[in-house]
Amino acid sequence: MTRQKLIDTARALLANYKGLLAMDESTETCNKRFAKAGIPQTEEARRAYRELIVTTPGLADSINGAILYDETIHQKTKDGTPFVKVLTDAGIIPGIKVDMGAKDLALFPGEKVTEGLDGLRTRLKAYVEMGARFAKWRAVITIGDGIPTLGCIEANAHALARYAALCQEADVVPIIEPEVLMDGTHSLEACRAATEEVLHHVFEALHAQRVMLEGMILKPNMVLPGLASPKQESVDEVADATVETFLRTVPAAVPGIAFLSGGQSGELASARLNAMNVRFKSRLPWVLTFSYSRAIQQPALDIWRGEEANVAAAQQALYHRAALNRAARCGDYNAAMEKP
C-alpha cells in the first residue's frame, strides 16, 4: 500500500467541484433498464450505450471518475479504442465495481449480504493492469418489519471493510457504498435511525481492518422517507437530516461523501445535494458530491432508445444532468437550470 498514492487518487476524484458517474450496472440491471425503454438486451446494445456515455463531449467538465462494470471495462468503441483509454484521455479516472452482488443472507429472511471477497486480490490486480484506480462495493440494507437486524448490518460492514483493505493493499481507492434502500413506506426517521446504525458499524469495521480513512470515499444513501411513505419531507428537511446523520457518524479524516441517487428523480437528487451544500457550506469536514447512476443517465437512456440517430441528443442530456449536479455540488443549482 502506498499511502500517498491513495490520498492523491481520492483527492483527484473529489477535485474541482466535480463528482463521479456510476455506469456499473450489472448485465441484469442494465438489461432491466433496456427492457423498460424497449432497447434490445444484447451485449452489442450495452456496448453501444456505454460508448455513448464515455464519448460524451465535455463529460469531464463535471465528472472526475467513472465506475465501470466487468463487461464494460473490457469493451471498446466501434473504432477499437478501449473505454478505459477514452476515459483516461478525457481526464476521467476509470474505476470498477468489484462486488458480485447482494445475495440472500442465510437465516435472515428479507435481508442481503454482498458477496465477492473470494479471489478479490487477484481480480484487483487484473483491473489495476487494465487502468482502474478506484473500485466500488455496494451493500444493501432494507428497512422493514424488524429489519435491518444487527446480524445483517455487521455482516455487510465486515465485508465492506475487508473489501476496502484489499483495495488499499493494491493502491486502489475503495468507494464504500452502504445503501439503505428507499423502497417501502418507512418514515424519514426510520431511515435516519437505520443509516446512523449502519454507518457506526461500517466505520468500526473499517477501523478494525486498518483501512486508511484518508484514502477512501463513502457512497451512502441520503436520509429520505421511503418512496411510498405518505409523508414526504421538504428538500431542506432532507438536507438537514442527511448532514446531521453524517456529522454524527463519519470521521473528519474521510475526504469525501459521494451520494448515490437510489431511485430519486434527477431533479430531487440535484436539489437535495444543492441544499446540503448551501445550508452547511462552511461547516463540513468533508466534500459532499454525487456518484449517481439513474439520476444522471435516465434522460439520456430515454432519448437514445437504441437508435444511432439519437446519440447526439442523448449525449447532450447526459452532459446537462452531469452539469446540473456539478452546480449542486457547488451550491449553485436552481430549478430554472433544468431547462436545457
Provide the 10 A C-beta neighbour count for residue 141. 23
Element (H, E) at 190: helix 188-208
The secondary structure of residue 220, as a DSSP letter, is P
Cell triple for residue 147? 429489519
Asked whether position 292 contacts ligand 5MM by CB under 6 A, the answer is yes
CB of 224 to ligand 5MM, least distance (A): 12
Asked whether position 294 contacts ligand 5MM by CB under 6 A, the answer is yes
102/100 Cα distance (integer angstroms)? 7
The residue written with cell numbers 436520509 in the block is 223
The residue (of 101 and 306) whose beta carbon lies closer to ligand 5MM is 101
5 is annotated as an active-site residue? no
Please give the residues from 45 up to 84 whose contact with ligand 5MM meets the rule CB under 6 A.
67
The residue (of 22 and 165) whose beta carbon lies closer to ligand 5MM is 22
Check 177, 197, 237, 338 and give the catalytic one.
177
Of 23-31, 40-48, 142-150, 163-171, the segment contacting ligand 5MM by CB under 6 A is 23-31
Site string for ligand 5MM, 295-334 (x = CB under 6 A): x---------------------------------------
The secondary structure of residue 85, as a DSSP letter, is H
Of 125-133, 162-170, 238-246, 287-295, the segment contacting ligand 5MM by CB under 6 A is 287-295
User: How many chain residues interact with ligand 5MM (CB under 6 A)?
Assistant: 16
Asked whether position 220 contacts ligand 5MM by CB under 6 A, the answer is no
67/137 Cα distance (integer angstroms)? 11
Check 219, 244, 267, 339 and give the catalytic one.
219
Asked whether position 21 contacts ligand 5MM by CB under 6 A, the answer is no
> What phi, psi does 104 have (nearest 5°)?
-55, 135
Cell triple for residue 92? 476521467
The secondary structure of residue 170, as a DSSP letter, is T
Asked whether position 293 contacts ligand 5MM by CB under 6 A, the answer is yes
Q: CB under 8 Å to 129, separation ≥6 — which residues? A: none
148: cis peptide before it, omega within 30°?
A: yes
177 is annotated as an active-site residue? yes
132/219 Cα distance (integer angstroms)? 18
CA distances from 40 to 244, 293, 313 (A): 44, 20, 20
Asked whether position 234 contacts ligand 5MM by CB under 6 A, the answer is no
Please give the residues from 81 up to 100 whose contact with ligand 5MM meets the rule CB under 6 A.
none
Q: CB under 8 Å to 176, separation ≥6 — which residues? A: 137, 160, 163, 164, 202, 206, 216, 217, 218, 219
CB of 262 to ligand 5MM, least distance (A): 4
The secondary structure of residue 82, as a DSSP letter, is B
The residue (of 277 and 298) whose beta carbon lies closer to ligand 5MM is 298
Question: Do the beta carbons of residue 259 and residue 222 sit within 8 Å?
Answer: yes
Of 17-25, 73-81, 144-152, 240-248, the segment contacting ligand 5MM by CB under 6 A is 17-25
Q: Which of 168, 195, 261, 325 binds ligand 5MM (CB under 6 A)?
A: 261
The catalytic residue positions are: 177, 219
Residues that bind ligand 5MM (CB under 6 A): 22, 24-26, 29, 67, 101, 138, 179, 260-262, 292-295
